[in-house]
Amino acid sequence: MILIKKILFEIIKLILFILIWWGMATISEWQMPLKSRPVTQTEFFRFCVLVDGKIQSQSLQDYKKGQDVLCHTPVPDDGNGWFNYKYYFDITPAQTYRLISYADSPADPYIYHYRIENQEIVPIDVQYGGLMNQMAAWFYGLILTMILWAVGYRLYLRYFRQPERPSVR
pLDDT 10s digits, 80-136: 544 455 666 565 666 777 777 765 566 677 778 788 777 777 888 887 777 788 888
Tell if the pTM clears 0.75, that is, is over it. Answer: no
Report CA Rg, the chain: 26
User: What range does the domain containing 96 cover?
Assistant: 38-131
146 domain residue, yes or no: no
Q: How many domains does the chain have?
A: 1
Q: DSSP characters for the chain?
A: -HHHHHHHHHHHHHHHHHHHHHHHHHHHHHTSPPEEEE---GGG-EEEEEETTEEEEEEGGG--TTTSEEP-S-----S-SSS-EEEEEE-STT-EEEEEESTTSSSPPPEEEEEEETTEEEEEEEEE-HHHHHHHHHHHHHHHHHHHHHHHHHHIIIIISPPPPPPP-
Q: Which residue has the higher pLDDT, 10 or 2?
A: 10
